[in-house]
Amino acid sequence: MRDSELPAIRRLPLFRTMSEENFMSLTRAAYVQTFPPQVLLIEEGAQPDFLHIVMEGAVELFAGWHRRETTMAIVRPVSTFILAACIKDAPYLMSARTLEKTRIILLPVGDLNSIFRRDPDFAMATVEELASCYRRVVRQSKDLKLRSTRERLAAYVLRKSADAGGTASLVLPVEKRLLASFLGMTPESLSRAMRSLKDDGAKIDGQRVIITDRAALEALARPSILIDGPDFERAEEPDTSSATP
């Protein structure tokens, strides 16, 4: 592994708080590999062997059932994936494949679990991480069950815009085919929904989306902090101003 990569990993919430000693021993045991696009990294149903960390590129998490397939998440650097399966030592519920040339760090579950068992700070970080993962999926479920396809797409565009710092113009980070699957619709529906957003404040040009009327788009998407994030919410700071009951 490149030493230059260690700080980026260390900065992840999952590893930030653990002891230096344990961090070193964990990363010393790690494997690193670079994969071309479209490589199957993980097959659902298999037993976990490594906690994966994406350093460069992108990974699709997807699930299949009887000829059908759906995209569950897209993982970009720097983040870990399939932590829950590793912790439970239970079969993967999702498959994973590279979308681009992708550099992955593999931490053997054995090392992970043994350190996890003796480093309380790491255990604590794991709890935080799993709680975040859980809440992310709950949000996705709500998005899926409560919004129509157009509303879902509009909300997605607003989220990405927010991620990019609130810019009006943004580039879709993935193929539309994938985005459609992630959003729970067909590519055809996505294409049409996207075009139909012109009347609601967003137009598309290739991979670029331009928000022409944020108010209108928000009127459609009705973004909610309880669905659309942000992912890392915290309790409100205590109000330091004078009492306002």
Partner DNA sequence: ACGGTGATTTGACCCAGATCAAAACTGAAG
Partner DNA sequence: CTTCAGTTTTGATCTGGGTCAAATCACCGT
In the complex, the residues that contact a copy of itself under the rule CB under 8 A are 44-45, 47, 63-66, 68, 70, 72, 83-85, 87-91, 93-94, 116-117, 120, 123-124, 126-128, 130-135, 137-142, 144-147, 184, 222, 224-227, 233-236
Q: Between residues 55 and 115, which has the closer beta carbon with respect to a copy of itself?
A: 115
Compute the least distance from the CB of residue 176 to a copy of itself, in Å.
Answer: 17
Pick 89 or 100: Cβ nearer a copy of itself: 89
Radius of gyration, alpha carbons of the chain:
20
Buried b (16+ CB within 10 A) or exposed e, 125-144: bbeebeeebeeeeebbeebe
* Cβ-based nearer residue to a copy of itself, 2 or 67: 67
* Least gap, CB of 56 to a copy of itself (angstroms): 26
Nearer to a copy of itself, 128 or 199 (CB): 128
Report the relative pairing of strands 68-75 and 202-205 from DSSP bridges.
unpaired
Residue type at 185?
M
Residue 236 binds: one of a copy of itself, DNA, none (C-beta under 5 to 8 A by kind): a copy of itself
Considering the complex, what minimum distance in angstroms separates the CB of residue 229 from DNA?
A: 22
Angle at 147 between CA 187 and CA 188, to 5 degrees: 10
Q: Of a copy of itself, DNA, none, which one sits near residue 54, judging by CB under 5 to 8 A according to partner kind?
A: none
Smallest distance, a copy of itself to C-beta of residue 226, A: 5
- β-pair partners for 107: 51
Does the footprint of DNA cover residue 177 (CB under 7 A)? yes
Q: Which of 110, 82, 83 is nearest to 95 (CA)?
A: 82
Question: What is the CA angle 119-123-124, rounded to 5?
Answer: 115
For residue 33, the 8-state DSSP code is E
Judged by beta carbon distances under 5 to 8 A according to partner kind, the member of a copy of itself, DNA, none in contact with residue 175 is DNA
Pinpoint the alpha helices (H) of the chain: 6-10, 13-16, 20-28, 83-88, 109-118, 120-146, 149-163, 176-183, 187-196, 214-221, 225-228
Cβ proximity to DNA: between 115 and 178 the closer is 178
- Interface with DNA (CB under 7 A): 148-150, 175-178, 184-195, 204, 206
